[in-house]
Amino acid sequence: MEDKDIPEILSIENKAFPHTRWNKQAFLYEISSKFSFPYGLFVNNKLIGYIIYHIIPPEAHITNFAIAAKYQNKGYGKFLLNFAINKIKELKIKSIFLEVRASNYKAQHIYKKFGFKQVGIRKKYYRNNKEDAIVMALFF
């Protein structure tokens, strides 16, 4: 992803995460950070999703992942997650961590299909409603 993609990224972000969305500055930081790996998924030159992860050897941390609503349930999310996992494996990283809302069963289901396991709970992690986050991990 590049700076020029920010308007499309924010459009997806605002719909996917209406209560805890990232702002423009957060995405600009991620695009420029040496620890961050931001990837966009484009269909016909249109950004339809993105995934961002950090590499802090020996682990990776998925910090943000979304697919535009119109393109969900069509395999794009699985494609993008698989792409990120393979990129992380290429770097000889041993594990991937992420947090997901306790109420986001759809995302948890996708992660479990890829072998992620629940390894913890962060109580009252989300500021807007004090919802717990499920910590999930994938080990290689």
C-alpha–C-alpha distance, residues 24 and 10, integer Å: 7
Phi, psi at 30, each rounded to 5°? -60, -40
Strands 133-139 and 95-101: antiparallel
| Strand (E) or helix (H) holding 13 | helix 6-16
Structure token pair of residue 80: 């993008």
3: number of Cβ within 10 Å:
11
Active site residue 59: no
User: Which one from 13, 29, 111, 131 is the annotated catalytic residue?
Assistant: 111
Query: CA angle, corner 27, sides to 22 and 32, nearest 5?
Result: 155
User: Which one from 71, 99, 105, 131 is the annotated catalytic residue?
Assistant: 99
Active site residue 53: no
C-alpha–C-alpha distance, residues 85 and 97, integer Å: 11
Active-site residues, by number, are 99, 111
